[in-house]
Amino acid sequence: MAEQIIFYILAAIIAIFSILAVTSKQIIRSATYLLFVLIGTAGLYLLLGYHYLFAVQIAVYAGGVMVLFIFAILLTNRPGENAKTERKDRRIVAGITSLAGLAFCGHIIYWNISKVYTFVVPAEMKVQDIGHTLMGTGKYEYLLPFEFISILLLASIVGAIMIARKR
Partner 1 sequence: MILNYSQPLEFTNLITWLDTALRSSMSEFWVLLIEFVLVAVGLLAAYSVIAMILIYAERKITAFFQARFGPNRVGKYGIWQSVADVIKILLKEIIHINRSDRFLFFAAPFFMIIASMLTFGAIPFGKFLHAVDFNIGVLYVTAVSSLGIIGVLLAGWSSNNKYSMIGAMRSGAQFVSYELSAGFALMTIVVLAGTMQFSEMIEGQRYCWNLFNGHISSMIAFVIYLISGHAETNRGPFDLPEAESELTAGYHTEYSGKQFGFFYLAEYLNMFIIASIATTVFLGGWMPIQIHGLETFNQIMWYIPSYVWFFAKTGVLIFLSLWVRWSFPRLRIDQLLNLEWKYLLPINLVNIVVMVIIVLTGLTLTDLFPGLF
Q: Answer yes or no whether residue 52 interacts with partner 1 by CB under 8 A.
A: yes
Rg (CA), the chain: 20
How many angstroms separate the CA atoms of 91 and 96, rounded?
Answer: 9
Are the C-beta atoms of 37 and 18 separated by less than 8 Å?
yes
Q: Answer yes or no whether residue 164 interacts with partner 1 by CB under 8 A.
A: no
Q: Site map for partner 1, 17-36, x if CB under 8 A?
A: ---------x-xx--x--x-
Alpha helices, H only, 2-138: 2-23, 27-48, 51-57, 66-75, 88-116, 127-135
Task: Name the minimum Å distance from CB 97 to partner 1.
Answer: 30
Q: Exposure string (b/e) for 79-118, b if CB count within 10 Å is 16 or more?
A: beeeeeeeeeeeeeeeeeeeeeeeeeeeeeeeeeeeeeee
DSSP annotation of 119: P
Q: Which is nearer to partner 1, 1 or 116 (CB)?
A: 1
Tell me which residues in 119-138 interact with partner 1 (CB under 8 A). 124, 126-128
Among 56, 141, 142, 146, binds partner 1 (CB under 8 A): 56
Tell me which residues in 76-95 interact with partner 1 (CB under 8 A). none
Q: Could you tell me which stretch among 11-19, 65-73, 107-115, 146-154 binds partner 1 (CB under 8 A)?
A: 65-73
Q: Which is nearer to partner 1, 13 or 62 (CB)?
A: 62
Among 16, 18, 55, 146, binds partner 1 (CB under 8 A): 55
Q: What angle in degrees, to the nearest 10, is found between the helix axes of 2-23 and 27-48?
A: 160
Q: Where do contacts with partner 1 occur on this chain (CB under 8 A)?
A: 1-2, 26, 28-29, 32, 35, 51-52, 54-56, 58-59, 62-64, 66-67, 70-71, 74, 124, 126-128
